[in-house]
Chain A
Amino acid sequence: MKSGRWLPIIIVVVTALLIAISVLHPNQSAAALADAGTTGLLRPSTTPEAAVENLAREIGQRHWGSAYSRLANKSEFTEADFQRDLTGTYMSLRSYATLDHFEVRPQHASQNDAQELLKLHWSTVVGTFEDTKSLHVVKNGDRWQAEWPLVKEPRVPPQVIPVNYLRWDVIYRGAQDDWGAQDVESPHVRIVDMHPLERGDGVLIMGELLNEDVVPAYVSVKATLLAKSGAAIATEDSFDKISHLLLPKQVTPFLISFPGVELAQVASVRMEPSASLIAASADPVIAIEDQKLNPAPGASLTGKLVDQSGQVVNVVHVLGTFYDKNGKLVWVADHYMDRALLPQVPASFTIPIPPDIAGQVSSERAVTAIYSSGGFQ
């Protein structure tokens, strides 16, 4: 009977201990479930790092009210302003982004204030982006609070923008016909440059595609690597490393990746550009201004995008083509804008260039592809 008397106590104590262990050291699976490691028990904000980590966790859980209440400078802006700073005013990649993880790096600290670098790694439908904030953290009583460096979105005054850009409509055979089975000849497109490159753990095929026609084309490029025997090694397509909509005489770069393939295995490459007729509009026009090649270290292409129309563009994809001094294509890279592009408001972009490529680059060209909800693709 003695064992019977002690058994409930043993069971309760062991259970409590096991729960305590898991609370203090949650396993990977439980941590992953708690919003990809961005949640967990909030620590008291007794250090600058803890204050910033708590703020990042609240942001990760989209607890805007709680995150806002933690700020030292909340009197300078409203909770709605704070939320808009993180998610954007208009639908964009930020609107639905989820916080994958974050990093906090102390920069300096004194008795009553500190500077912390907060890197928020967001996950979006087209990939990840990083949001870096340098936060001034101040001590209020026995706890620390971060000051949020809010950037207010510029607004242009109300105005009318006349639209007189070209537009192409297409009359298809009929609503019941299979889409894509068009009776008209496909637009004429041509690969004007193609260059294979072995890099990292695979082969890249870079090139440029020209719409030679007088009508818009919806384009894609497929490549097949062929061995000496003529056998196909792999087939891939340009995926999102291309601007699929080409207006007449427009050129787009493309980049096709073949992970796990060595260039030595490849005897030839079969390129298959495809094009179909599409209804399109030249509007909205996205101008690229102040393009600048920045040398290594940290080589990049920077510039500003300006939406010259009156429409909001929800997502802009910038594709950069880089050439050497002989005009030979040496690299293709891209960048998604995480905020919507507002009419007439310049927005900066940066496309990083790998250090080993940067030395070869002497000129560049950038094009944009856009997504507007409910508009043309």
Chain B
Amino acid sequence: MSKRPIPLSFILLAAVVVHLPLLLAKMPLHSYDATFHIFFASHYLHHWMDPWNVKWYAGFSQTTYPPLPQQWVAVLSHVFGLIMAYMAVQFAAILLLAVGVYRFSRLWVNERAASFASLASVFLGSESFLVYGAGQLSTTSAAPIYLNALPYLFDWVRYGRWRSFLKALVLFMAAAAAHHATLIFGSMLFAVPVLALVFLDRNEGEPMSTPTFVARTATMAVVGGIAIAVVLLPFWIALIHNPVTQVPIPHASRANFALSPALGINYFIVPYGALMLVLPFILFRGAAVRRLRPLLLGFWLTFLIGLGGTTPVGHLLLGRAYEVITMERFTYWATLLSLPFVGLLSSELVDRFRMRAVVGLTVAAAFTCGLGVAWIIYKPAEDSQFSVDSAAAWLDRDGHDKYRYFTLGFSSKISELATYTNADSVDGEWNSGRTLPELTQHGGAALTKSKYFQKQGLDALRAMLAHADHYGLKWVLVRDPYYDPLLSFVGYRRVDTLENNTITIWGKDGIPPAVPVNSAYRPPQWQGLMWGTLPFGSSLLAILVVFIPDKRRPRDEEVEAPTPAEELVPGRLAI
């Protein structure tokens, strides 16, 4: 059997074969957040230069969420429509991940192992889980861009090549424009092991002094930091003006999986899949081979944070941010950091066991990917298989959209409804964009899911209903009779029913028409202009700059398999 690397074209074709049919079938629409991104994209489609979106929370700023993938969806929607544009951007991210993993893995392992790692990324359980179950377009778009940037970072710090500096810089800018959590947390978890690797390698081949290492690292940190600060300036301004001080909202990814095993299946078993079998290999090989140790330690730390409340690490390291961000993205990053090991193990297994290994690895990969894709079908988000078309049509007719509305029991369909109706809501799904005190002072997420947050969620719901007059909140669209007694006792009456009586519309007399809420958080025009040009522009610049050809790397810079002295260690499979 050949010991050549798997061609990148074959890997990309595998990604096409596995993911294109799923995306054409619009599988991500079953996920929690896909419609959320489509909703943001629909705003950019109509108001590219004005990030103030009045359709949620009586007005909120989309500068609270980096815009790049959603802006690309908006741009491509002119050709494909919003939904298929979303699929196209997600597909591009999947392809970019295969390339990124290959390039990132080449820093650590030889070309053949890197190619196996890249192929493994196509079947990665956490990727399938995030794409088809969680619908995290931004996370799954930003990580591949970072992975593609890291080899340039290595090249710059190790060899001082300005061309690599430039490429790393623009890719970091584009990645930052794609997702803030990946920028703030993920970039450190990826970049620090790479910098540690540079430091370990500093005396291999062309020597590099420690001051040089520090100077180049600092240069990239300062210039990159300034560039990212400028590209996302409205985001930072929004964050400073409205820091996330609202009452923390529980999220299942922060559970203790030992105490809540069902959540452990969701946030550990499904994303890792067969990767769980590789954990001992990662441990022993990562410890045994000196230059893999930074990767092992980076993986371990990310792994621990990804376990949410199962260990105190996430809480200790992230502090207040632990209560704001969700932890499944750390699991995703941990699996990405594990892929060079996966590539190494796979290539060694194939070299030793030939077809038997190929069959075994293929089954493990298919099972892992399949489980990640199918999990949302086995464990659907909520009861979300219903149409909101009639609800959108009702809100848009007879002047109903003069008033605000919110829904109860609509789960993540509120994003879809908001995309297609002209009416404005006081609810929404972007917790960090909320400024209304009725929502921020209670630990419930979307009003439509109030009951799942028990007292905290129901307190927020009652607080909002108590101020119905103030917000012009005349309509409540209900798809869960649980809420009916409250609406009845606070003065709402049944007005109409839709979708075979499964949706009831409640209305209240005497509510004045909605008026724009005067918000101190509305970004000025110049910020809208920046938001509409710099993040998207950074991605265009990245595309242009990356096509500048690299110089051929000298042979002594190529990473080969671990040295013979390091091969005879626990966990090493003798060939």
Contacts and interface: CB of A to CB of B under 8 A. Distances in A.
A271 to B, nearest CB: 13
A309 interface: no
A23 B259 contact: yes
A66 interface: no
A364 interface: no
A59 B495 CA distance: 37
Contact of B510 (A7, A220, A317): A220
A22 B311 contact: yes
A371 B259 contact: no
A4, A176, A369: residue with the most chain B Cβ atoms closer than 10 Å: A4
B309 A26 contact: yes
Nearest to A180: B509
Given A34-B260, A218-B491, 17 more contacts: A4-B290, A11-B296, A19-B311, A22-B256, A22-B312, A30-B254, A30-B310, A34-B255, A100-B455, A127-B462, A176-B398, A235-B470, A244-B489, A244-B491, A274-B509, A371-B484, A377-B493
A125 interface: yes
B468 to A, nearest CB: 8
B531 to A, nearest CB: 32
Interface string B486-503: 101111011110000000
Contacts of A34: 255-256, 259-260
A125 B482 contact: yes
Contacts of B570: 5, 8
Given A33-B260, A34-B259, A27 B312 contact: yes
Nearest to A33: B255
Contacts of B569: 1, 4
Contacts of B310: 19, 22, 30
Interface residues of A, number: 60
A177 B509 CA distance: 15
B252 interface: yes
A96 B323 CA distance: 28
A278 interface: yes
Contacts of A315: 485, 489
Interface in B223-267: 248, 250-252, 254-256, 258-260, 263
Main secondary structure of the interface of B (DSSP, over half): helix
A96 B288 CA distance: 56
Interface in A32-52: 32-34, 36, 39-41
6 contacts: A26-B309, A98-B451, A98-B454, A127-B458, A178-B400, A373-B481
Contact of B495 (A30, A32, A179, A371): A179
A264 interface: no
A177 B483 CA distance: 26
A7 B287 contact: yes
Interface residues of B, number: 66
Interface string A1-29: 10011011001100100110111001101
A237 interface: yes
Q: Which 6 A-B pairs have the closest CB atoms?
A: A30-B309, A7-B287, A18-B311, A30-B256, A240-B489, A33-B255
B314 to A, nearest CB: 9
Contacts of A98: 451, 454
A126 B485 contact: yes
Given A93-B485, A176-B398, A377-B494, A27 B258 contact: no
A222 interface: yes
Contact of B399 (A23, A178, A235, A317): A178
Contacts of A39: 259-260
B309 A22 contact: yes
A373 B484 contact: yes
A123 B493 contact: no
B255 A7 contact: no
A239 interface: yes
Contact of A33 (B252, B287, B490): B252
Contact of B256 (A26, A180, A240): A26
A280 to B, nearest CB: 11
B466 A237 contact: yes
B193 to A, nearest CB: 15
A291 interface: no
A18 B313 contact: yes
A18 B304 contact: yes
A8 B284 contact: yes
Contacts of A179: 495-496, 507
A87 B255 CA distance: 27
